[in-house]
Structure 1
């Protein structure tokens, strides 16, 4: 089973509407990350360059500092990931920024368990599959 199959299967199991939107956005975001030339490192760089360095630092260290949809828009707006995520998830960019305020800390924490993002050129496919299972699994357990 490929990563996209895993994402679709897990997102489909998410349950109620709010969890379903978050799961769709999480899946869409992971798909967008998979296709993004800079991957998760590009996301971290964009967030840090756009005023969210403190958030990124706390997420990489396992803390759950919250973000607002406006902060997500500010941090990722120029990267194209919000629009790509909306396209993959089949929701509006506004739904994406709202859901990413919850999803983004989980994604960054997943990669930051060692205190840093994975090195560029690493095994992105297995990292993304593991991320999909970890993040989407949290919505299934709620």
Structure 2
């Protein structure tokens, strides 16, 4: 099994830190959305590659390339909407997270570039089988 590059606990710590930067209410929403993202990725047949395909098809190819390289550390909610709107991912993530699509879009502006950098370091998806373990670790850290 190919593991995502870097330390999985490091990405979890980074996501948790980012989730907490805007206060308790935002931390709760960001944590929910991050968990919803992981659930959506593990349940979608294309996983992270589906998100990459949607972003690329919707005019976000340069952003994907930058995020994969760790450049442009955040997105705007408008960019998330542009890249994922119409793909069903936003709705699925929001449903898993128990938040509105608008809340999911705002939280994904911070979370999505980090996820792409971690799981698609060259703009291509890495092995998906590691996401199940990541989801358990991630949700355990953020919900505890």
Distance 1:132 1:97, change over 3 A: farther
Distance 1:135 1:112, change over 3 A: farther
Structure 1's unaligned 5+ residue stretches are 1-6
**Which position in structure 2 is the counterpart of 1:118?**
125
* In the alignment, structure 1 residue 129 sits paired with structure 2 residue 139: no
Cα contact 1:111–1:118 (8 A) shared by 2? yes
- What are the residue-to-residue correspondences of 1:47-62 with 2, within 5 Å? 47-62=55-70
- Once the two structures are superposed, residues 25-49 of structure 1 have per-residue CA deviations (whole angstroms, 9 ceiling, x without a partner) of 0100110111112111110011011
**Which position in structure 2 is the counterpart of 1:85?**
93
Structure 2 distance, partners of 1:61, 1:131, is 23
Cα contact 1:26–1:136 (8 A) shared by 2? no
Structure 2 distance, partners of 1:27, 1:85, is 8
- For this pair of structures, how many residues does the alignment match? 125
Shift of 1:133: 4.5
- What are the residue-to-residue correspondences of 1:38-77 with 2, within 5 Å? 38-77=46-85
| Aligned-CA RMSD value | 3.0
Shift of 1:135: 9.7
TM-score by length of 2: 0.73
Shift of 1:55: 0.8
Structure 2 distance, partners of 1:59, 1:136, is 26
Structure 2 distance, partners of 1:43, 1:59, is 13
Structure 2 distance, partners of 1:64, 1:131, is 25
Cα contact 1:107–1:135 (8 A) shared by 2? no
